[in-house]
Each structure stands twice: as C-alpha cells, then as structure tokens.
C-alpha cells in the first residue's frame, strides 16, 4: 500500500495522467460539439483514426509538422462532412452511417499506409514528424508542479485551451446559441428563421476539426507514428466522458481527467502484483459509476422541478 | 426504432452475403496435380513486423526453394469472417494445404478439419490435443528462447552499459494474459534468476495487441520504476514499448521477428535500443514442414514442439547485438544458449508444467 501511494504521488504519475487524458479530452470535446448541434457522435472513432493516419502521412509529404496536423484536420473535416452529407442530405440513419464510417476508416487507413509506407501495420518507415514539446517558462521552475504541468505536447495545451474557447463559443456567442437551439429542437429553431442545415454543417466543421487534432495527437505526439487501429476505443471513451461531463466543457474536462487517472492507475497498479484482469476493469468500473452518479443526480434534480 | 431495426437487419444480411462473396475466386491452373500448393491465411494483417511477417517469410522461401505454389490471404481480426473463409477454402479444395495461426484460430480449424477430411491444415503456434489425421500443428518452446533473453536482461541491468542504472530491475510487458505469453514470461524469469537470484521483474499487461500508445505508457511506467530493460511480448502494441525505450534511453528485447533489423536504415535510434530479439522461427518451421510433406514424411495428426535445439526458436545475433552488447555478456549469453540446446538446462514451461510451480517462479521475483 505504501508503495502504491508513493507511486501515485510522483510527478511522473500525474504527468502521465495528463498525457493519457489528452486524446480522450479531444474526443469528448468533439462529441460535445456534435451533440450540441444535434448530430450523433458515433463516428468519432473512425474520424479520429483517419486523422491519426493522415498526420504522419501528411507530415511525410510536406516535410513539416504543420503540414501533418493540417492534413489530419483536413481528412477529419472531409470525413465529418461526408457523414453530414449522408445523414442530412441523403437522410440515412445516423447510427448506421457512423458505424459505416468507423468500418471504412479501419480498412481505408490500412490501405493508405500500405500504399504510402509499404507496410500494413504502421508508418514507422516514414520519417516521423512530431508536434513539439512546450516548456512553460515560469511554471517549469516551480518544484513538483512544474514537473507535472510543463513539458507536454503542444496539442495537449491546445486541448486544454479549447475547453475554455468552446465554453465561450457555445454559451456566450450568438453562434453558440444557434448551434444549441438547432440541436435541442430543430423545428423550433427553424420557426424563428434559423437556417438549420447551415448550423448543422458548422457543427460538423467544428467537431471535425477538434477530432482531427485528437487524431493528430495520437500519431504525432503520444507516439511518433501511425499504427493500425491505434485509436483503440478512445473515441468511444470520449463519448462516455461527454455523457459523464453532462455536456458541459468544464464537466467534460473533469471527466476526461478522471478517465486519465483511471487508466494511468491501472497501468501503475499492475506492476505492484495486483491481478491484472481485475485492474484492467478499473476504467470501465469508473465509467459505470460515473454515469450512475450522473443519472441519479439528474433524477433528483428532475424530481425537485 | 422499428425502422432502425429493419435497416440493421438489411445491413447484417448484406454483410453476410458480401463476406460470403469475398473468397478468392480461383485461377484453376494452380492445382494441376504436380505442384504442391499452399495458402497462408493471415488471421490479422501482415506488417506486424512480428509473427505473421515471420510466417510470410517462410511462405516466400517455400515458393523459392521448394517450388511450391503459394498464396497469401489476409482476413483481418474480425473473427466472424474467419469461419466462412476457411470453409470456402476447404470446400473449393483449390490448395493442398491451408496454413494459419493456431493460437488464434486453432479451435475453429479443428472443427473445420473434421468437416472437410480431404483438406489438409497446418497450424503454427499451437498444441493440438485431438488426433485429426488431416491436421499437423507446430508449437514453439518460446520459454527456451525467453530464458536466453532473461539471462541477457539480468546481465545488462547489472552491467555498466550506457543506459543501464544501478537498480537490479528488469521488465516484462505482455499483450494480455495468455498461456503462451506466460510461457514467455516464465522462461524470462528463470533466465534472469539464473544470473541473479535476487533480481526484480516487473510484469505488466497492456490489455491490447494493437494499442501502441498504451504500450508506450505501460513501458514508461516500468522505466520510471527503475527498470532499464523490457521484454515486450505484445505483437504490434510492443512497438510503443520500443518508442518508450528510445525516448527514455533504455533497452528493449524484441520478439517474434528480428526487430532491430526491421528498423535498420529506417530508424537507427530504435534499432540501437533493441539489443536482441527472441525469435520464433515460424518461417523456418513452416518451410521444414512443407519440405517434409513433399518428401511424404510429415507426421499428420500430431503436433511437434520445436525448441532451440531444432532451431524452432532462438535469439537474434545481428549487427546491433554485436555492436551494442559488451563482449563478456555476449559470451555468457552464448554459453546459456548452448546449455539449453544440449539439454543441460531444463526450462520450466507454462504450457506443460504445473501452473502452481509456474506461478511460484513468477511471484518469486515480483517487486
């Protein structure tokens, strides 16, 4: 037990929580925007996978980090808009279109990396472009805290900044109000003269960009290459984090952090001779607990009203 | 909701139909009776730089050296398409032998082999308990090669090599708990203990064979505990461990394929942290099996266990091993190699020995 507490209090552990949290945060924020605009986020996994493939490939062809990140954003925008076109214009069912998108992504990414890198497993044969690590000037020198907060990937900081930016956009601007009203009741929004389709597409563009950044982080920050299936459910966990965060950017930040803690904890505890099967269930138990607590409180609130 | 259900049914029916059509439509000239023809069904994808790729090398060598007609089909990890694919292949009977990975598809193949007695199957990396006359299986004594890896790891962590620290801690990372992975582990632990009985071995499981990021996270957690060399047996997810080693300036022992050589010329940093690789010579063993079949000597209906002595397993002695491992460590490693090969050292196996003994060995070095 002492050993366990010692590990948890190390700055390395808390640093790793932030690292693990980042892709989940991006996924959850993208899901949040999707849901706010009234679009089902089930395709998030596939969109992020496509982006994580496009990052290293784009970086290789343009020979720059920016080029890679732009390629990741571009392809996830395309995937997101394709999803929008199929569901909004062609009126197909969102769940099916989302599942189709995820399936397409898992096959297409392998096809493309085989074409580009000559290997169906990963893009390690391409010279890797990695988004830079940022040392925070003053915070870096604070003992203990500096070691936790400084030295993360630039995309991690971007994700945290996005929490505030998105809160501002969604709750403090006319654009955000329209997106939310379209999502909550599109008929009502239409009746007051809001162009529903336009705001749905804006939602798709915003969410696609965020998902693209999350995908880029996986292959250009977390690790330095794309490998097949590397999102490994983080998009879906993002959906759960969104639900747990009650659709609020700050809540989502906290729930993503909770997932980060659960996941890092699982990694650490394993080394201390706990049964690994049990430990690997921790993140899922936390999901169930979180959602239960959320719905319990929700129920109480409704009763009061 | 009803509408969704209707659509779902349509999609499912389409999926089944399309998968059914997805079989290889035959070029009929492949089986003119004179040439042996084999098909390697990859349950997963090539490009794992590990197990499947090693088998693929063997298939290529067969075509070249033995003049066998070969074909490779990748069917992915979706197990729902496995049965129809194998059944189609067996029913068409276009290939004399179907080769596939038995640790994934073993039970399925046993069923299909009974259904189609005319079709011959070779499974690698599995032990077959029932005696099916059209089935031959190869299993590998990965514990023997892992023993050598353990010897190397224990010597490295004690040494004054550049990235080695003072702690006598080494690490093992598995994809998930699986008898074969435990077999790797128990050999590794025994090898390490033969050098230093008081060594500590950290053991973690990624919980995935694909998640490279989690692999990296898991390895970094161990390195942060003072581990300086990790042996990951986690297929593709192990690539994340290699990256952790490069970043944190630590060592890795590769697995299944000669991983350092795969990085040669592509990523020298990665190649240099991989001191050696524990090899399952899947390719060699398949060539050996098909060669025996051509001569009519392959013992169908049995399984064979290949160890260091039969060159079924080994460790990679490549240029990076030569360059990065100090001479005195190399000498001791080669000594251990010979001891195992000539039977002086008997390595415990998680597959055949009592599981209590195995667990005791693994526990004895836990932190």
Number of residues in chain A? 305
- Quick check: A302 pLDDT over 70? no
User: CB count, 10 Å around CB of A228?
Assistant: 26
Tell how far CA B363 is from the center of its chain: 24
Domain-embedded: residue B195: yes
- Quick check: A133 pLDDT over 80? yes
Angle at A163 between CA A55 and CA A41, to 5 degrees: 65
Helix orientation angle between B179-195 and B355-363, rounded to the nearest 10 degrees: 50
Residues A148 and A13: their CA atoms lie apart, in Å, by 8
Domain-embedded: residue A304: no
pLDDT confidence tier of residue A184, bands split at 50, 70 and 90? very high
Report the residue of chain B nearest A14, measured CA to CA.
Answer: B221
Substitution target in A153, A230, A284 with the highest count of B β-carbons within 10 Å is A230
Do residue B217 and residue A93 have CB atoms under 8 angstroms apart?
no
Angle at A297 between CA A295 and CA A302, to 5 degrees: 90
Q: Which of residues 79-118 of A touch B (CB under 8 A)?
A: 93, 95-96, 110, 114
A202 vs chain B: nearest CA distance in angstroms?
27
Report the residue of chain A nearest B15, measured CA to CA.
Answer: A100
User: How many structural domains compose chain B?
Assistant: 1
Domain-embedded: residue B160: yes
- Quick check: A242 pLDDT over 60? yes
Do residue B205 and residue A270 have CB atoms under 8 angstroms apart?
yes
List beta partners, residue A152.
Answer: A134
B33 vs chain A: nearest CA distance in angstroms?
34
Domain-embedded: residue A303: no
Residue A123 near residue A116 (C-beta atoms within 8 A): yes
pLDDT in tens, chain B (367 residues): 555 666 666 565 555 555 544 444 434 444 445 689 999 999 888 877 677 888 999 999 999 999 999 999 999 888 889 999 999 999 998 999 999 998 878 889 999 999 999 999 999 988 877 788 999 999 999 999 999 999 999 999 999 999 999 999 999 999 998 888 999 999 999 999 999 999 999 999 998 988 999 999 999 999 999 999 999 999 889 999 999 999 999 999 999 888 898 888 888 999 999 999 999 889 989 999 999 999 998 999 988 899 999 888 999 999 999 999 999 999 999 999 999 999 999 999 998 899 999 999 999 998 8
Kindly list the residues of chain B whose beta carbon comes within 8 Å of any beta carbon in chain A.
Answer: 3-4, 7-8, 11, 45-49, 74, 177, 202-205, 207-208, 210-214, 216-218, 220-222, 224-225, 236, 239-240, 243, 263, 266-267, 270, 363, 366-367
Angle at B18 between CA B15 and CA B19, to 5 degrees: 85
Residues B328 and B41: their CA atoms lie apart, in Å, by 43
Domain-embedded: residue A236: yes
Q: Name which of A67-71, A235-239, B17-21, B291-295 the model is least confident about.
A: B17-21
Q: Which domain holds residue B154?
A: 142-280+313-363
Substitution target in A228, A265, A273, A281 with the highest count of B β-carbons within 10 Å is A228
Substitution target in B9, B221, B226, B263 with the highest count of A β-carbons within 10 Å is B221
**Looking at residue B340, which CATH number applies to its domain?**
3.40.50.2300
pLDDT at B2: 58
**Looking at residue A273, which CATH number applies to its domain?**
1.10.3470
Q: Is A275 on the interface with B (CB under 8 A)?
A: no
Tell how far CA A249 is from the center of its chain: 13
**Greatest pairwise CA separation for chain B in angstroms:** 72
Domain-embedded: residue B349: yes
pLDDT confidence tier of residue A115, bands split at 50, 70 and 90? very high
Model ipTM value: 0.91
Domain-embedded: residue B236: yes
Q: Which domain holds residue A36?
A: 2-296
Substitution target in B73, B173, B213, B261 with the highest count of A β-carbons within 10 Å is B213
Q: Is the pTM of this model over 0.90?
A: no
> What's the whole-number mean pLDDT along residues A16-32?
96
Q: Which helix or strand (DSSP H or E) is residue B123 part of?
A: strand B120-124
pLDDT at B29: 40
Domain-embedded: residue B63: no
In percent, how much of chain A has pLDDT > 90?
A: 76
Domain-embedded: residue A19: yes
> What's the whole-number mean pLDDT along residues A5-23?
92
Structure tokens at B209: 């064979």
A275 vs chain B: nearest CA distance in angstroms?
10
Domain-embedded: residue B348: yes
Do residue B47 and residue A222 have CB atoms under 8 angstroms apart?
no
A230 vs chain B: nearest CA distance in angstroms?
5
A100 vs chain B: nearest CA distance in angstroms?
10
User: How many structural domains compose chain A?
Assistant: 1
Query: Among A20, A223, A271, whose Cβ lies nearest the Cβ of B202?
Result: A271
CA distances for B118 relative to B64, B88, B97, B113, B124, angstroms: 26, 13, 10, 8, 20
> What's the whole-number mean pLDDT along residues A14-39?
96
Residues A136 and A141: their CA atoms lie apart, in Å, by 9
The candidate with the shortest Cα–Cα distance to A32, out of A283, A302, A250, is A250
Domain-embedded: residue A20: yes
């Amino acid at each position: 037990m002492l050993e366990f507490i010692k590990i948890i209090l190390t700055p390395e552990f808390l640093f790793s929580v932030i690292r693990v949290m980042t892709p989940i945060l991006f996924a959850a924020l993208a899901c949040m925007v999707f849901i706010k605009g009234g679009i089902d986020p089930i395709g998030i996994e596939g969109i992020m996978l496509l982006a994580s493939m496009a990052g290293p490939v784009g970086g290789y062809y343009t020979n720059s980090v920016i080029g890679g990140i732009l390629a990741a954003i571009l392809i996830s925008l395309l995937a997101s808009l394709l999803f929008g076109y199929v569901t909004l214009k062609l009126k197909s069912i969102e769940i099916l279109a989302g599942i189709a998108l995820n399936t397409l992504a898992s096959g297409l990414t392998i096809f493309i990396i085989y074409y580009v890198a000559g290997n169906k497993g990963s893009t390690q044969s391409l010279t890797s472009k990695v988004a830079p690590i940022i040392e925070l000037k003053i915070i870096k020198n604070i003992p203990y805290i500096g070691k936790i907060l400084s030295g993360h990937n630039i995309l991690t900081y971007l994700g945290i900044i996005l929490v505030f930016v998105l809160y501002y956009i969604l709750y403090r601007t006319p654009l955000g109000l329209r997106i939310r009203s379209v999502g909550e009741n599109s008929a009502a929004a239409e009746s007051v003269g809001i162009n529903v389709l336009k705001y749905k597409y804006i939602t798709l563009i915003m969410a696609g960009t965020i998902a693209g950044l999350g995908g880029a982080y996986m292959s250009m920050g977390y690790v330095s290459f794309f490998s097949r299936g590397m999102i490994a459910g983080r998009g879906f966990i993002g959906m759960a984090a969104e639900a747990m965060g009650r659709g609020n950017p700050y809540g989502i930040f906290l729930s993503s952090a909770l997932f980060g803690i659960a996941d890092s904890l699982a990694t650490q505890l394993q080394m201390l001779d706990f049964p690994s099967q049990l430990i690997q269930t921790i993140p899922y138990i936390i999901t169930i607990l979180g959602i239960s607590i959320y719905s319990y409180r929700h129920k109480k609130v409704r009763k009061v009203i | 909701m009803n509408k969704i259900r209707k659509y779902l049914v349509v999609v499912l029916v389409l999926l089944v139909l399309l998968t059914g059509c997805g079989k290889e439509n035959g070029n009929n000239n492949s089986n003119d009776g004179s040439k042996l023809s084999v098909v390697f069904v990859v349950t997963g994808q090539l490009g794992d730089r590990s197990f499947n790729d090693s088998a693929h090398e063997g298939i290529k060598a067969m075509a070249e050296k033995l003049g066998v007609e070969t074909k490779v089909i990748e069917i992915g990890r979706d197990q729902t398409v496995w049965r129809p694919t194998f059944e189609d292949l067996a029913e068409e009977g276009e290939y004399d032998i179907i080769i596939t990975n038995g640790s994934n598809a073993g039970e399925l193949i046993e069923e299909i082999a009974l259904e189609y007695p005319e079709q011959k199957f070779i499974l690698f990396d599995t032990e077959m308990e029932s005696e099916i006359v059209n089935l031959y299986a190869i299993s590998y004594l990965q514990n023997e090669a892992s023993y050598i890896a353990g010897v190397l790891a224990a010597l490295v962590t004690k040494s004054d090599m550049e990235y080695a620290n003072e702690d006598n801690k080494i690490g093992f990372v598995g994809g998930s708990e699986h008898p074969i992975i435990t077999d790797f582990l128990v050999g590794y632990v025994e090898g390490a203990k033969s050098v230093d009985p008081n060594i500590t071995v950290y053991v973690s499981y990624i919980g995935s064979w694909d998640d490279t990021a989690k692999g990296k996270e898991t390895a970094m957690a161990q390195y942060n505990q003072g581990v300086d060399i990790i042996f990951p047996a986690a297929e593709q997810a192990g690539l994340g461990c290699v990256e952790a080693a490069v970043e944190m300036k630590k060592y890795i022992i590769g697995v299944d394929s000669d991983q350092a050589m795969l990085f040669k010329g592509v990523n020298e940093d990665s190649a240099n942290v991989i001191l050696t690789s524990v090899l399952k010579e899947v390719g060699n063993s398949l060539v050996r099996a098909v060669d025996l079949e051509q001569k009519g000597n392959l013992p169908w209906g049995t399984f064979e266990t290949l160890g260091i002595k039969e060159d079924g397993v080994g460790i990679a002695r490549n240029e990076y091993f030569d360059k990065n491992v100090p001479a005195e460590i190399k000498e001791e490693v080669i000594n251990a190699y010979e001891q195992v090969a000539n039977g002086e050292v008997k390595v415990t196996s998680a597959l055949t020995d009592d599981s209590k003994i195995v667990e005791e060995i693994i526990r004895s070095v836990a932190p």
